[in-house]
Amino acid sequence: MKNIHKTLLKSGVLFIMLLGLFSCEEYLDKAPESIVSEEVAFSNFTNFQGYIEEIYNCIPDKEKKYWTTSWNWGDDELFNLEGSWHMTNQVDIGNFWAWQNNAGTWLDDDNANPTSTNKFDHGLWAHAWYCIRKANMGLENLDLLTVATQEERDFIEGQLYFFRAWWHFEMMQYFGGLPYIDQVLPSGEKLTLPRLSYQECADKAGADLRKAANLLPIDWDETTVGKNTLGKNQLRANKIMALGYLGKNYLWAASPLMKNGAETGGANTYNYDEDYARKAAEAFGELLSLVESGQTQYSLVDFDYDDIYNHKKASGVESKYSDMFYTTGQNWLMPGSTEAIFRGPSTDYNGSNWNTTKTFGPKVKGLVEHDNIIHHPTANYVKNYGMANGLPLDDPESGFDPEYPFKDRDPRFYHDIVFDGFKYVNATMPADMEYLRYTGLATNGTMRNPADGSRTGYLIQKLVPHTANKYDGAYNWSYNLHTYLPYMRLGDIYTMYAEACAAFGGASGKASNFSKTAEEAINTLRDRCGAGHVAASYTASREKFIDEVRRERAVELSFEGFRFNDLQRWLLLTEYPYNVKTSQEFDRVENLEFFENNDPRDARVANFREEVILTRQFGVKHYWFPLKIEDVSMYPEFGQNPGW
């Protein structure tokens, strides 16, 4: 955040629009006169860029929005019982209104403040209308940018188009089609702007993102403008970000929900809009061609991972893969490595150690300190992690053995998931605590309970290291542990490219501007981690291949906040088995001595089975979140989503 918010504000010009513009109605009512003089604000590049910096500042931090935060609302996660008020549980019981009540979510904030650097003060709906208005005012005042080179002018214009589309798109994912605001609305006039269809909004967002991609550089550091802030430009909107969201925008428009409507149900889950899918593939293809030809600063990070206890290779090299999600001992370096494409600011680095990092481990006997809130991976979701040979668990040829359920799994399983017998604590422990060194996640195990242990038989270590416990102390100041979830990363792009191509061409589908087919894109990700390629039995059928693409997306992007929107757009949110959350039940066969001397992957179990914890009773209305009553009451054309 310091890199973005300080470097171009040295002129002392801080552009503070009136505070309190936090609902749609209040945003629409504000007049241009509420801003600092346009002649000052927009006269040169430094001042204009300072005006734009506030938009970056408004991007919510999903992981650290609240003391204990919720961002996974699909079939992927559960909280322990004390976390029932969080949005994850509220979605489970069908209470989608809860997004407006600050249920530990980044979607809203009654106290949002666009100039604050406090991570708690930023929410999506709270800032979107505000930032869209800022973008429109900037675009309408470009003619006042008289002291600027063409490069400077292009960068300003490109950022404004990007952010106008980005804020619209982020809202569209949850609320559907909205009025697409592409002009400064005058104060005092009657509002009549209708809600557009999703695809109509996508067309407008796509036009803005295409303009942004044409105007913005690949890497600010390689430009004359960017050299003034060399090494501090990583978060600035660029061509790759614009292309990534251009493709995502069109893929969402192509998706079964947006083409067919919620009423059509899961029977249409493979029915994509092929025209939009081709547009998506071309945008992703343009991006991936630039990446794979070495013309960008982005690349897939290495899966330098072997030791499941330390997230290190046997050689002791720190895992670059984990650096996408958290960093330790790197002077609070922001996570993302070479793969994070779009991120917002990450402030109060150490604050995350007293919030996010303490919400993934078991609280039994104070093993992980602080608030008694725990993110649990559901057993039904963990099943997406197939075998090392690339086959899903339920494939007869996969080799999965329920007596050895943790053996020979997809390598990402060992990086992401904590399972029974896992050595959770590496440091010295008091003698009376030694029984918690190895996870007891079998039925009736030492860490199996809904209050302060695991409800599902698994824990998560993908986003926060398991060493964030009282004895290993990874959340202590000296470890410099910094967490952040990117909004978009390169692994995401490969899965979306594959899906877009598969929508119109199956496994052999490809864009005209990129050499790889959909199948080859998925195999690129599997090669990165050492998992087997998509089997031939899944490439002959378009539908079976799409299922594999979706499973790959579930594994590659697990717990990163994308699953709800994926199930939603695929028309699977209401469908079995995606509407259940389960636990993994089994009996431990091995004794403690086995885990002290052997790899837990090799442990034998008995009675391996799933049990349903809850079933989500969703109907058609749950495909979209309800809008705020105060906003839909403004005028008839701004209507509520069906069923709410």
How is residue 423 annotated by DSSP?
Answer: B
Mean of pLDDT values over 53-68 = 93
**Residue-level pLDDT at 11:** 27
Encoded amino acid at 132, one letter: I
Report yes or no: 547 and 65 within 8 Å, Cβ to Cβ.
no
Q: Which of 55, 250, 61 is nearest to 162 (CA)?
A: 55
Domain 38-288 sits in CATH 3.30.70.260: no
**Residue-level pLDDT at 85:** 92
Report yes or no: 296 and 218 within 8 Å, Cβ to Cβ.
yes
Q: Which of 159, 209, 208 is nearest to 183 (CA)?
A: 208
**Residue-level pLDDT at 111:** 81
Q: Which two tokens stand for residue 474?
A: 């990874």
**Residue-level pLDDT at 15:** 35
- Burial label, 203 (beta-carbon count in 10 A; 0-12, 13-18, 19+): middle
What is the C-alpha to C-alpha distance for residues 113 and 135, in angstroms, rounded to an integer? 17
Coil, helix or strand at residue 108: coil
What is the C-alpha to C-alpha distance for residues 273 and 386, in angstroms, rounded to an integer? 29
pLDDT-above-90 percentage for the chain: 83
Report yes or no: 360 and 374 within 8 Å, Cβ to Cβ.
yes
pLDDT(13) > 50: no
Q: Which of 240, 267, 236, 183 is nearest to 55 (CA)?
A: 236
Which tens digits make up the pLDDT trace of 233-284?
Answer: 999 999 999 999 999 999 999 999 999 999 999 999 999 999 999 999 999 9
Where does the pLDDT of residue 190 fall: very low under 50, low under 70, confident under 90, or very high at 90 and above? confident
Coil, helix or strand at residue 454: strand
Sequence-ordered list of residues with C-beta below 8 angstroms from that of 434, at least 6 positions apart, any chain: none
Report yes or no: 248 and 200 within 8 Å, Cβ to Cβ.
no
For strands 459-460 and 417-418, give the pairing: antiparallel
Mean of pLDDT values over 438-448 = 98
How is residue 44 annotated by DSSP?
Answer: B
Q: Which of 376, 377, 372, 346 is nearest to 358 (CA)?
A: 372
Q: Which two tokens stand for residue 361?
A: 């481990």
Residue 114, preceding peptide bond in cis (omega within 30° of 0): no
pLDDT(196) > 80: yes
Domain ranges (residues) in the chain: 38-288
Coil, helix or strand at residue 588: strand
Tokens 């005006």 appear where?
Answer: 51
H-helix or E-strand spanning residue 177: none
CA distances from 102 to 63, 126, 127 (A): 14, 11, 14
**Residue-level pLDDT at 319:** 63
**Residue-level pLDDT at 169:** 98
- The model's pTM is 0.94
Which tens digits make up the pLDDT trace of 300-340?
Answer: 999 987 777 877 765 566 668 999 999 999 999 999 999 99
Beta bridge partners of 583: 611
Which tens digits make up the pLDDT trace of 136-145?
Answer: 999 999 999 9
**Secondary-structure percent of the chain, ordered helix, strand, coil, rounded to 5:** 45, 10, 50
Phi-psi region of 434 (alpha: psi -120 to 50; beta: other; left: phi over 0): alpha
pLDDT(47) > 50: yes
